[in-house]
A and B are shown apart, each in its own frame.
Chain A
Amino acid sequence: MNIVKYGAIVLLTLVILAGIGIPLSPAPQSWLEFPVIPGLEEKARNIFFHVPTAWTTVLAFIVSMYFGFRYLKTRNLEYDLKSVTSAGLGLLFCILATVTGAVWAKFNWGSFWNWDPRQTSIFILLLIYGAYFALRSAIEVSEKRASLSAVYAIVAGLTVPFFIFIMPRMMSGLHPGAQGDASGSGPLFESGMMAGNMRILFYTSLLGFNLLYVWLMDLRLRVARIDTEIMDQRSED
């Protein structure tokens, strides 16, 4: 776990320093310069923070669904603990992705919120997390809470592919890869506007945020286990 911890700290420090510090240049000469992307300019730096948080949100949701599924199979409350911990982190990263995205939208598209398909998707994901925790708080018995919330997470997860694969192609949108944008996953990746050094920093950031997620997951699981132990001791006294 120490590797994960120091890895997350080192990689994310590097990403923050390099992502903000490396200067832009219209014709990059050395590897320590980013090219200017028309229409994005300095705002392009947000890609090192916005995309990895959004990615981690989806990862946390999949992990939460997976442990929910394992709970239903085994009825082991440890899996439910992992499922809810991952969902909590997913909510945190979801808020971060929404805020970084809204700020980026304000300066690139003119307003914080445009109901672009991807913005709609992240809004629905926020609602799913909100509903998940509302459901959990409504149930007292822990076994019942675990199984009902696991089923809800999976049912809600069934609709996620519609948002990722179908909605962006049916509705017109502003994100790269929307309807009418022939360049697939986006101009930043496909048309070579993102230089090699930007790509490397981007993947570093992706790895860094994933390690951060694993580290936070471990910390919160340990706290949750200590909490349940204290509760058990209190009920014995």
Chain B
Amino acid sequence: MNLLARTSAVFVKDLLSEIRTRYALNALLMFVITAVAVILFALRGDTPGTIVLAGMFWVVVFFTGMSGLSRIFVSEEERGTALTLQLVAPPGVVYFGKLAFNVLLTLVLVAGVTVVYLVAFPGFIIQTPSIFFVTLLLGSLGLASAATIIAAIVAKAGSRGTLYPVLSFPVVVVLLMTVMNATIKSLDGEPFSTAVVDFVVLISYVMVMTAGSFLLFEFVWKD
């Protein structure tokens, strides 16, 4: 099998096991609904401005992602299948297969959060859809690329749940600041050209993170 086919085999394996249990998806969905409900209770009918809405949007995405994205590697350690996977596939194949799955999961997550926000907050009106969708796409790619390598580290370390957001936040904070910036622009109805700067930062972030993780993954994965 060539590398692409092997990578997609790892991806399909994770996708199938997710479809059978729907563990991550259900947990993420419930987390999003709980978080948005807490925000709505806290607001008590107040209508927040675009800056707060854009910020809250990514706060929910970040913490929901932190509760579910580490599963990709933690489940391998828990089920004791990590060694088998090490034997049958080279590290790069495993990394990109897992990354692809996390990208898909993050895309589903941000789509879900968008729908919930459109329903729950009357002030959440996407005035420039082009900025919004490019931000969601690049933001998901960036979040997934950082979350995947940190998940690999956390899965090999002892305490899994608590450490994950602590390790992830310093790494993704650049990404969060940039996507929040771009999301405010899309809610305020600014033209597409104003957000190009943010997109350049996001694209370079995704490339740096993915390339760095690919090179370093081997040292984490091999025992």
* A interface, CB within 8 angstroms of B: 72, 124, 127-128, 130-131, 134-135, 138-140, 144, 147-148, 150-152, 154-156, 158-159, 162-163, 166-167, 170
Segment of B16-24, B106-114, B161-169 engaged in the interface with chain A: B161-169
Query: Which residues of the partner chain B approach A166 to less than 8 Å between Cβ atoms?
Result: 174, 201
**Can you report 5 A-B residue pairs in the complex whose CB atoms are below 8 A from each other?**
A72-B219, A135-B163, A144-B156, A150-B219, A158-B212
B33 within 8 A of A: no
Query: Which residues of the partner chain B approach A155 to less than 8 Å between Cβ atoms?
Result: 146, 149-150, 153, 171, 209, 212-213, 216
Query: Which residues of the partner chain B approach A144 to less than 8 Å between Cβ atoms?
Result: 156-157, 223
A-B interface, 5 closest residue pairs, ranked by CB to CB distance from nearest: A127-B170, A162-B174, A128-B170, A158-B212, A138-B159
B197 within 8 A of A: yes
Among A130, A138, A163, A167, find the residue whose CB has the most chain B CB atoms closer than 10 A.
A138
B213 touches A138 (CB 8 A): no
B219 touches A158 (CB 8 A): no
B39 within 8 A of A: no
* B interface, CB within 8 angstroms of A: 146, 149-150, 153, 156-159, 163, 166-167, 169-171, 173-174, 177-178, 181, 197, 201, 205, 208-209, 212-213, 216, 219-220, 223
A139 and B223 alpha carbons, distance in the complex (Å): 14
B219 touches A151 (CB 8 A): yes
A170 and B180 alpha carbons, distance in the complex (Å): 13
Given A134-B166, A138-B158, A148-B220, CB of A156 within 8 Å of CB of B174? no
B158 touches A140 (CB 8 A): yes
Q: Is the interface of A mostly helix, strand, loop or mixed?
A: helix
Say how far A152's CB is from chain B's closest CB, in angstroms.
Answer: 6
A167 touches B170 (CB 8 A): no
Q: Which of B156, B159, B181, B209 contacts A158 (CB 8 A)?
A: B209
Q: Which of B167, B169, B171, B219 contacts A147 (CB 8 A)?
A: B219
A58 and B181 alpha carbons, distance in the complex (Å): 27
Query: Which residues of the partner chain A approach B181 to less than 8 Å between Cβ atoms?
Result: 170
Query: Which residues of the partner chain B approach A147 to less than 8 Å between Cβ atoms?
Result: 219-220
Given A148-B153, A151-B220, A162-B205, CB of A138 within 8 Å of CB of B170? no
Among B174, B181, B205, find the residue whose CB has the most chain A CB atoms closer than 10 A.
B174
Query: Which residues of the partner chain A approach B220 to less than 8 Å between Cβ atoms?
Result: 147-148, 151
B153 touches A159 (CB 8 A): no
B153 touches A151 (CB 8 A): yes
Query: Which residues of the partner chain A approach B219 to less than 8 Å between Cβ atoms?
Result: 72, 147, 150-151
Q: Which residue of A lies closest to B181 (CB)?
A: A170
B171 touches A159 (CB 8 A): yes
Query: Which residues of the partner chain A approach B163 to less than 8 Å between Cβ atoms?
Result: 134-135, 138
A164 and B103 alpha carbons, distance in the complex (Å): 28
B173 touches A158 (CB 8 A): no
A127 and B146 alpha carbons, distance in the complex (Å): 16
A198 and B169 alpha carbons, distance in the complex (Å): 39
